[in-house]
Structure 1
Amino acid sequence: MSSTPFRDLNVLTAAGDGAYQASIDPIWTIGPKVHGGSMMSLCAAAARRRLLDETGDADLSRVQPLAVGANYLSAPDPGEVTLSTTVRKQGKQVSFVDVELKQGDRVAVHASVTLGVPDVGKPQYSGDHALSQLPAEPPTDAVVLTADHPMGQIVHVSQGCDMRVDGTSAHFLTGNQGEPEVRMWVRPRAGDEDDPDTAALFAIMTGDISAPVTMNRGMFGWAPTVQLTTYLRRQPAPGWLRVMASSTVLGGAWFEEDHTVLDSTGAIVVQSRQLAMIPR
């Protein structure tokens, strides 16, 4: 396997008129379908690439996707996709680019991407978060997701990065039920972590990395994401990312799932919320 599988995912080839071609490897799937967070990172990468191609301005090198709001219209298979981009505004501090990810003639994702320079330095205020109580690195009893693990056989994304689950939160792994909250550790491969742009896109992807929290309530099966909004708050520091996915309301048809992602320094680097459907 490549030493930079996530950077490989986000390789874009210009196809003219603001469009780009990409190829999604089967490891970036959940079951047979492409992982939603991986498609979000591709949309973010295409928006940033279009902005750089549009201007050729080296001063934009610090610009990253700050917010990505995506509507999921269909679930594509791994393979070739096209990303069409439209610049809505190019500003001094904030720019906006729309992206459509298609497979063949079918639109899979429509995304609106906000680009700017992420926060740096010490925040003016930062409240306590329950996730900060999770160790910065996974302990020895964390569940390691490998290709042979029952969960890893479905979450193929674990083959492209290191994923470890806090077993005390993932009650479904032991056939039990608990609160709709799952905690875990995720880290890109070393080659991906060393590239700041890839590390930022990887952090965006982790805003949709957890198995559906409905599984902790005994509700298994596909929980399709309908809408997902992810914020990149700052450039992640090297090391493990701590992730907590949770929900406050599991309805009859719909539920929300929030992700909070901390880097190795304890800084919040990603926040996300998605609207998804309860598994049938």
Structure 2
Amino acid sequence: MTPPATLTSTRPFADLTTLTDLGGGAFGALIDPIWTIGPKVHGGCMMALCAAAAREVIRAPREDMARPIDTSAMQPIAVSASYLNAPDPGEVRLITSVRKLGRQVCLVDVDLIQGEKVAVSAVVTLGVPDVAEPRHQEPLALADLPAAPPSDAVHITPDHPMGQIVHVAKGCDLRVDPSAALFLSGQQGDPVNRMWVRPFAEDEVDTDVAVLFALMTGDISAPVTMNRGMFGWAPTVQLTTYLRRLPAPGWLRVMASATVLGDTWFEEDHLVLDGAGHAVVQSRQLAMIPKG
């Protein structure tokens, strides 16, 4: 396996999600090799690219509307993606089709294409995220996890065994709770993982980039099947992610868990809290049990 390129950018996630307008609702993007798991592009990064394309197309100036719609505050509040192929890092195209352009909700279909193959087909819903305090909220499973990683958190660096596979750790600060990720010490436990993740400073300060980064963290965990001794590629078939509110600056706390590990399929849920303790992202994916 060819190792990913050395990181040189101070804003790698902004670079990933910066699009080139190709005209007609099409965009180009360049995926750096750091945004991979093993040799293939990370699914959460592809979801973020689809969300970026949808946001870009609804914010584009329109001269054919009698009453222009202000979409400047809209963000991708729901992304439902089906994964058709696993692309390599490099150039991709994103083809958008606006299905609804409304004052409160917009809907855009996005295909992420490499070569002649569609890798991801996504439906992106855009709107203004919540700002006020929730009217009702059940106790959050991550509420007792420290807002910042403690000294015993495992820092996933490029030299760490996990960092040699999870290359996305080069583009952010990723630290894992060793009391949950028992697979790191050769043990088994519940299919649960907990971690802290934070974008680099120049990515964090840009609200639009921070939003896309938060969406990406809805797929940041290593497969929770590893805690049951099942290693190898666990391909995501479908992933739906909700952005509940804009993330506050600081560390994001992430928990990944599963309730049913079937013979072929398992679901994996992510809950992401920001530094203020708010639920900013929720996701659920359907994936396949590793064959290795």
In the alignment, is residue 123 of structure 1 matched against residue 134 of structure 2?
yes
* Number of the residue aligned with 2:103: 92
Q: Distance in 1 between matches of 2:269 and 2:61?
A: 34
* Number of the residue aligned with 1:21: 28
CA shift, 1:84, in A, is 0.2
Question: Which structure is higher in helix share?
Answer: 1
Q: Distance in 2 between matches of 1:54 and 1:82?
A: 21
2:108–2:123 Cα contact (<8 Å) kept: yes
* Number of the residue aligned with 1:252: 263
Equivalent in 13, 19, 27 of residue 6 of structure 1: 13
* Number of the residue aligned with 1:31: 38
TM-score by length of 1: 0.99
Map 1:100-249; keep pairs closer than 5 Å: 100-249=111-260
Equivalent in 13, 25, 43 of residue 50 of structure 2: 43
Deviations 1:171-208 (A, max 9, x none): 10000000000000000000000000000000000000
In the alignment, is residue 73 of structure 1 matched against residue 84 of structure 2?
yes
Of 71-80 and 46-55, the range deviating more from structure 2: 46-55
Q: Is the partner of 1:41 in helix, strand or coil?
A: helix
Q: Distance in 1 between matches of 2:161 and 2:271?
A: 25
CA shift, 1:58, in A, is 8.4
Change (3 A) 1:253 1:54: farther
2:71–2:103 Cα contact (<8 Å) kept: no
Count of residue pairs brought into register by the alignment: 280
Q: Is the partner of 2:71 in helix, strand or coil?
A: helix
Q: Distance in 1 between matches of 2:262 and 2:35?
A: 29
Q: Distance in 2 between matches of 1:250 and 1:18?
A: 40
CA shift, 1:253, in A, is 0.2
Aligned-partner residue type, residue 204 of structure 1 = L
Unaligned runs of 5+ in 1: none
Q: Is the partner of 2:70 in helix, strand or coil?
A: helix
Q: Percent identity, aligned pairs only?
A: 69
Q: Is the partner of 1:22 in helix, strand or coil?
A: strand
Deviations 1:207-252 (A, max 9, x none): 0000000000000000000000000000000000000000000000
* Number of the residue aligned with 2:3: none
Q: Distance in 1 between matches of 2:62 and 2:16?
A: 24
Q: Is the partner of 2:100 in helix, strand or coil?
A: strand
Aligned-partner residue type, residue 102 of structure 1 = I
2:262–2:289 Cα contact (<8 Å) kept: yes
Q: Distance in 2 between matches of 1:58 and 1:147?
A: 45
Q: Distance in 2 between matches of 1:53 and 1:62?
A: 13
Q: Distance in 1 between matches of 2:272 and 2:237?
A: 21
* Number of the residue aligned with 2:4: none
Q: Is the partner of 2:268 in helix, strand or coil?
A: strand
Q: Distance in 2 between matches of 1:99 and 1:32?
A: 24
TM-score by length of 2: 0.95
In the alignment, is residue 82 of structure 1 matched against residue 89 of structure 2?
no
